[in-house]
Chain A
């Protein structure tokens, strides 16, 4: 199986001085007392409650927790789709937002869009492919918004589709693809721009266990090729693919532990 190997993260390792004492890798993402509070009339919902968290380059993290515990909220904030109500969020060496300082620092919508475009690859539970566009066009989308010229796009899209073993399906629309194939198109779309991190929110939630395993093979391979991957899941055996397992409860980190089974036979350390 071929999975892309070119990586953008870690190009300037000397810039991020902080070292992780567990793996010795560079810091990619830093959450400093992040909260996300929804005010619903009189009721206050703490979707994320004072979370501090560091994610390193080439981490492979699973996030588990009961429904409504704040997993998706966490992913959305990491993915710059949502903004925390308090705390500091640092991505690579840029401050995405600092809601704590005197003067709130926040990237504007265009800066956030640009980070999402170049640094982040999303994989959703419901695939979120454009229904009337072909697999090729779906994968091409991030490249269009990145302003990459047509011939270069073509090359990259075909490579990404090949990486998820869908080279022969590039002209198919989502309705002509199976669930697993759709999710692979979504993975191709997520990695086509060589992002710094791949965020998968319940990527196997809509798939049967056989197809889920297939998808996990791709995500494992992505990690093996030095990508940073975070996956939200309800299934323990899916979570067990990750090297670091985070449990969330009521918007707080309940546990954050190393998956010793995986680290015993490290792929990449």
Chain B
């Protein structure tokens, strides 16, 4: 048996190009699936972490569901937008509601300070002053902005930790002016790392008053999101019922009609996300299965060519006493080794991909789950056996004289 391995490896090494082409399919298949898996897992985990930090008394109201499936979008889009006045209304009126914050954010922006600037990847969040208490954010330095700043549309900004590190490595930022686009903002505070609601890490964000946001980023209009905090965890249900009732009245929803907004807790988001993750996982598995089967057919194809190419070799081996089973094993082991090497390279590249992904997407740690590694090897062995068997049998069954005579 060891001899078969030795000779299989030897013959694969002596035919590097053919071997490389054969494993390419497996390699790409494994790489795609495993790196996909690692991203999904990382996403899943970071969602969980964020939600855990929101605390169990938080919930959210927004215009769109967390996930909108294609054609429904129009239906949701007809709903009335949420404004920050809604937030103040709820905070003042609700008995079980302790605080409410409205917020919205832009995509990637560049923040500049003097000749330093960040990459074009910083999220700008416009929020009501209540954001900091609703979110249980803590301030590392300076102050958060307040209702006053909001009323006066002040150009003040609170920096996330990463931005602070990047722009003010050796300087006190308080009172300094940074620029977002062409607008100048005075830094009033720096946040401790805080849990965030969007995919971007909150540390990679700056927060400005919602009114200032509307003025500065008038192009980024639309509905705001509301984050609410119940007085305590025990009255979370009451607080949610109250919020629903108040919003239905305010938005003039007829009795008997469904809500024209979405309300959910952090937990329910996790559930939704998990459902989505499962769908993604099923989809990847399907694609994976198909791509690896295709790769398996590639292995079979190249093994068949290899059997024909090596007909004389097979004849020679049989002439010096190789049993059919020895030839069968020789080719089968070659197929299995090929698929395993493909799996190894695929996993290595998937690992690199997950590292790159972790670097590129802040707040997300992609990480290859162990079961993916094990099943990659298992599945690839299976592919090697299933698709190697036919060529191997063909080789084993060759008649020695015909094989020796083969030109």
Which residues from chain A contact B321 at a C-beta distance below 8 Å? 113-114, 116-118, 142, 145-146, 193
Query: Which of the residues B312, B313, B401 comes within 8 Å of A82, measured between beta carbons?
Result: B401
Q: A144 at the A/B interface (Cβ < 8 Å)?
A: yes
CB distance from A106 to the nearest CB of B (A): 15
Q: How far is the CA of A145 from the CA of B329 in the complex (A)?
A: 12
Q: Contacts A116-B318, A128-B316 given; indicate if A109 touches B401 (C-beta within 8 A).
A: no
Chain A residue at minimal CB-CB distance from B2: A150
Chain A residue at minimal CB-CB distance from B310: A130
Q: How far is the CA of A128 from the CA of B310 in the complex (A)?
A: 11
Q: How far is the CA of A247 from the CA of B404 in the complex (A)?
A: 25
Which residues from chain B contact A79 at a C-beta distance below 8 Å? 319
Give 1 or 0 for each of A171-204: 1 = CB within 8 Å of chain B CB: 0000000000000000001000100000000000
CB distance from A148 to the nearest CB of B (A): 10
Which residues from chain B contact A141 at a C-beta distance below 8 Å? 316-317, 320
Query: Which of the residues A109, A131, A137, A189 comes within 8 Å of B320, measured between beta carbons?
Result: A189
| Residue contact B320 to A142, C-beta cutoff 8 Å | yes
Chain B residue at minimal CB-CB distance from A128: B316
Q: How far is the CA of A145 from the CA of B322 in the complex (A)?
A: 6
Q: How far is the CA of A118 from the CA of B323 in the complex (A)?
A: 12
Q: Contacts A76-B401, A128-B312, A130-B313 given; indicate if A122 touches B3 (C-beta within 8 A).
A: no
Q: B315 at the A/B interface (Cβ < 8 Å)?
A: yes
Q: B153 at the A/B interface (Cβ < 8 Å)?
A: no
Q: How far is the CA of A145 from the CA of B323 in the complex (A)?
A: 8
Q: Contacts A141-B320, A145-B321 given; indicate if A132 touches B404 (C-beta within 8 A).
A: no
| Residue contact B323 to A110, C-beta cutoff 8 Å | yes
Which residues from chain B contact A81 at a C-beta distance below 8 Å? 318-319, 400-401, 404
Q: How far is the CA of A128 from the CA of B401 in the complex (A)?
A: 12
Interface centre among B14, B315, B320 (most CB of A within 10 A): B320
CB distance from B113 to the nearest CB of A (A): 65
Q: How far is the CA of A189 from the CA of B316 in the complex (A)?
A: 11
Which B residues from 377 to 407 make CB contacts under 8 A with A? 400-401, 404
| Residue contact B318 to A113, C-beta cutoff 8 Å | yes
Which residues from chain B contact A146 at a C-beta distance below 8 Å? 321
Q: A60 at the A/B interface (Cβ < 8 Å)?
A: no
Chain A residue at minimal CB-CB distance from B7: A144
Which residues from chain B contact A89 at a C-beta distance below 8 Å? none
| Residue contact A109 to B324, C-beta cutoff 8 Å | yes
Q: How far is the CA of A137 from the CA of B324 in the complex (A)?
A: 20
CB distance from B398 to the nearest CB of A (A): 11
Which residues from chain B contact A145 at a C-beta distance below 8 Å? 317, 320-323, 326
Q: A124 at the A/B interface (Cβ < 8 Å)?
A: yes
CB distance from B118 to the nearest CB of A (A): 57
Q: How far is the CA of A109 from the CA of B328 in the complex (A)?
A: 14
Give 1 or 0 for each of A106-148: 1 = CB within 8 Å of chain B CB: 0001100110111000101000111111000100011011100
Query: Which of the residues B14, B312, B319, B326 comes within 8 Å of A132, measured between beta carbons?
Result: B14
Which residues from chain B contact A116 at a C-beta distance below 8 Å? 318-321
Interface centre among B11, B313, B318, B319 (most CB of A within 10 A): B319
| Residue contact B404 to A124, C-beta cutoff 8 Å | yes
Q: How far is the CA of A116 from the CA of B323 in the complex (A)?
A: 10
CB distance from B334 to the nearest CB of A (A): 13
Chain A residue at minimal CB-CB distance from B6: A144
Band of interface residues on A: 20 to 34
Which residues from chain A contact B3 at a C-beta distance below 8 Å? 144
Which residues from chain A contact B326 at a C-beta distance below 8 Å? 145
Interface centre among B312, B313, B321 (most CB of A within 10 A): B321
Q: How far is the CA of A137 from the CA of B316 in the complex (A)?
A: 13
Which residues from chain B contact A124 at a C-beta distance below 8 Å? 404
| Residue contact B318 to A128, C-beta cutoff 8 Å | no
CB distance from A39 to the nearest CB of B (A): 16
| Residue contact B324 to A122, C-beta cutoff 8 Å | no
CB distance from B346 to the nearest CB of A (A): 27
Chain A residue at minimal CB-CB distance from B14: A132
Which residues from chain A contact B404 at a C-beta distance below 8 Å? 81, 124, 128
CB distance from B333 to the nearest CB of A (A): 14
Which residues from chain B contact A110 at a C-beta distance below 8 Å? 323-325
Chain B residue at minimal CB-CB distance from A199: B319
CB distance from A108 to the nearest CB of B (A): 10
| Residue contact A130 to B322, C-beta cutoff 8 Å | no
Which residues from chain A contact B324 at a C-beta distance below 8 Å? 109-110, 113
Q: How far is the CA of A122 from the CA of B321 in the complex (A)?
A: 10
Give 1 or 0 for each of A65-84: 1 = CB within 8 Å of chain B CB: 00000000000100101100
Interface centre among A129, A142, A144 (most CB of B within 10 A): A144
Which residues from chain B contact A144 at a C-beta distance below 8 Å? 3, 7
Chain A residue at minimal CB-CB distance from B316: A128
Q: How far is the CA of A133 from the CA of B316 in the complex (A)?
A: 13
Q: How far is the CA of A76 from the CA of B320 in the complex (A)?
A: 13
CB distance from B387 to the nearest CB of A (A): 24
Which residues from chain A contact B14 at a C-beta distance below 8 Å? 132
Which residues from chain B contact A76 at a C-beta distance below 8 Å? 401
Which residues from chain B contact A189 at a C-beta distance below 8 Å? 320
Chain B residue at minimal CB-CB distance from A145: B321
Q: How far is the CA of A118 from the CA of B315 in the complex (A)?
A: 17
| Residue contact A130 to B401, C-beta cutoff 8 Å | no
Interface centre among B315, B325, B404 (most CB of A within 10 A): B404
Residues of A within 8 A of B (CB): 76, 79, 81-82, 109-110, 113-114, 116-118, 122, 124, 128-133, 137, 141-142, 144-146, 189, 193
Lowest 8 CB-CB distances: which A-B pairs, in order?
Answer: A117-B321, A132-B14, A142-B320, A145-B321, A128-B316, A113-B323, A116-B321, A81-B400
Q: List 4 extra interface pairs beyond A113-B323, A128-B315, A142-B321, CB under 8 A.
A: A82-B401, A114-B323, A124-B404, A132-B10
7 A–B contacts from the bound complex (CB under 8 Å): A113-B318, A113-B323, A128-B315, A129-B316, A144-B7, A145-B321, A189-B320
